[in-house]
Amino acid sequence: MQVIEFIISILRFAFTISVVSFAYFTFKNIRFMRTSFGHKFVVGSVAMSLMTSIIGTLYYYYFPSLKLITFSIWIFALLLLIIGCTIRGMQLKRHFQLSLFRTFLQIPQGKLYFAAITILIIVSLPSYILALLSPLLPGYNWFTIVQLNSWIFANFILMFAEKNLYYMFRSKDEIVKYWGDDDIAWLEEDELVCESYGDLTNYCVLAAIPYVGKKSLKNVLINYFENTPVLFEGSKIRNNGTIDVKDVVKNLENIYSKGRVTTICMLFGELNRNLMEILSDATSHKYAKEIYEKGFRDIRKRYKNKPVLLNILRSLPDDILEPERFGLMSKDELEVKVRERTITLEKLTEELEKANKELKGLDKMKSDFIDIASHELRTPMTPIKSLVQLIEEGELERMSESRRETLFRTLNSSIDRLTSTVSEMLDISRLEKVELKLEPLSMHRIVEKAIAGLAAQIEEKKHTVSMNIPKELPLVQGDRILISNLVINLLSNAVRYSPDRSSITISSHKEGNNLHTMVSDTGIGIPKDDLTEIFRPFYQVEDVEHRKSGGVGLGLNIVRGIAERHGGKVWVLSELGKGSTFHFIIPLKAVECRKKEV
């Protein structure tokens, strides 16, 4: 009896060693199988087995009353082991497309698990029950010996299974060989996301290198790594410009386990948005989009279309595989997306309507220009042509002196009108391109010369022009030719549109840092509805067919352009039948420019 008890003690020690060995490799595999629900049951079984070893030793030597508790814990451990292995088998069954039994026999670890569970059920369980009934049966210690031997044998088989798994996990090629790459996802979900997103990033980096350059992309990656060390700390870039994803995987423990996959996708997604923007600038958005869509389809095929890859799809730039992304959205997300698209569509519709309105306006301006230009060019050509015919027919010599003078005055006026029309057309086209030659100018001198230049027209219509511009006013900073044209345009309009013997006043005063000048007349005035329109090109208050005054409707547009080019502005106040006052302001020259009056 003492020999049997000695053997039982040795077997109990061996059983403890077998359980510890099994637990050692099982717990080491947690790092690789943290997402496997089945492995959690196996870990629970190991914990229960350790408790069985400890409590069994106590009941055998010190507390016989713990016999039933020990049995209950061991039964619970066996159930957890069976459930865990079954879940593993069900997960692997999808890959092998076989029955659960044949799936276990397909892989080496499955055979070991099946053998261990068979021993525990067929040998360990009956012998344990018989050992519990030992008071009723002689030679019960032999049942205990059989029970312990079967436990030891089964635990060592399980230990070898977990050990083989551990070394397989250290070599990805072995996993693919025995388990198939379809099963990487449930074994290591965050690593799968990291590696697949890394593969997608590298695919797009290689596509961008011919257009952007390896050095430029390397700088972009390095800067991003420095700004996001939580995932990319210590990550290296290979000689071909791609990321060494193994270095990135090592940093996964830096991210809190809850929401780790989401964080990985967010960090990789931001990097890929930057890369896509760079590739779009170097090529086109369409090409960059095609590269990303092709890259995602490739990794989805390579990783067997695992559900976790949908997290990658959600984090890609918005218009990548858009129809598929809509299928992933919840009802609330779709409603938000529809509202956003509706708002965008409404804005685009408004912009389209505005552009269409502008096009119609431009089309009307073109028609107006053709009508006005043809009228303005044809009108002065008529007297010129008539005079040429008179000269050809010899009628000019038979005319009286006064008649000839009238014809030559008409001819001269027609040539001036034709020259003015062409000049206005040239001025409006050159206004935006001409480089300003800024110099200190005296508004008194500018207006004085303008009045002198229009003296003939003023005298012809018997107008009275008065100038109220003190000589001591500060100088303005401007282009001499353009400022002169501005004043001449306003003054000539006042002369042209005012009835004979009207009064025209030009005045200026300092207003803050500007010089404010006004040209007032007592002419026909401007209708209220036309006040905001008269500065548009080719705009005419009168109908083309009934116009009494010349011009192509560019004068006031030129005036506004000159004022704005100098940092000033122009506007008009008018009352129909009582006259108009045109205002314009031009910035003053610096104080030191007053020394010289131009």
**Averaged over 523-533, what is the pLDDT?**
82
**What's the CA gap between 555 and 561, in Å, rounded?**
10
Percent of the chain residues topping a pLDDT of 90: 10
Mean pLDDT score across all residues of the chain? 76
Q: How confident is the model at residue 517 (pLDDT cuts 50, 70, 90)?
A: very high
Comparing 144 with 182, the larger pLDDT belongs to 144
Between helices 67-96 and 108-119, what is the axis angle to 10°?
150
Residue 268 has pLDDT above 50, yes or no: yes
pLDDT for 171? 53
Residue 584 has pLDDT above 90, yes or no: yes
pLDDT for 597? 37
- Lowest model confidence (mean pLDDT) among 237-251, 291-305, 371-385, 561-575: 371-385
Q: How confident is the model at residue 347 (pLDDT cuts 50, 70, 90)?
A: confident
Q: Using CA atoms in the order 193, 196, 200, 201, what is the torsion angle rounded to 10 degrees?
A: 60
DSSP H or E run through 579: strand 579-587
**What's the CA gap between 445 and 439, in Å, rounded?**
14
User: How is the chain split into domains, by residue range?
Assistant: 2-167, 172-329, 333-433, 435-587
Q: Which residues of 560-592 are buried (b: 16+ CB within 10 A; e: fewer)?
A: bbbbebbebebebebeeeebbbbbbbbebbeee
Residue 400 has pLDDT above 80, yes or no: no
pLDDT for 182? 43
pLDDT for 301? 82
Q: pLDDT tens, 308-343?
A: 777 888 888 777 877 766 655 556 666 776 777 788
Helix, strand, coil distribution of the chain in percent, nearest 5: 70, 10, 20
Q: How confident is the model at residue 174 (pLDDT cuts 50, 70, 90)?
A: very low
Q: pLDDT tens, 37-87?
A: 666 777 788 788 778 777 777 766 667 677 778 778 878 888 888 887 777
| Largest CA-CA distance found in the chain, in angstroms, rounded | 165
DSSP H or E run through 286: helix 285-302
Contact 512, 338 (CB under 8 A): no
Q: How confident is the model at residue 184 (pLDDT cuts 50, 70, 90)?
A: very low
Domain 435-587 CATH (choose: 3.40.50.300, 2.30.110.10, 3.40.50.1000, 3.30.565.10): 3.30.565.10
pLDDT for 430? 57
Comparing 327 with 577, the larger pLDDT belongs to 577
Residue with tokens 């060494």: 244
Residue 198 has pLDDT above 60, yes or no: yes
So what CATH class is 333-433?
mainly alpha
β-pair type (514-521, 503-511): antiparallel
pLDDT for 60? 65
pLDDT for 445? 92
Q: How far is CA 100 from CA 85, 105, 180, 598, in A?
A: 10, 9, 16, 104
Residue with tokens 């010349």: 550
Q: pLDDT tens, 224-266?
A: 999 888 888 888 898 888 998 888 888 888 887 778 888 888 9
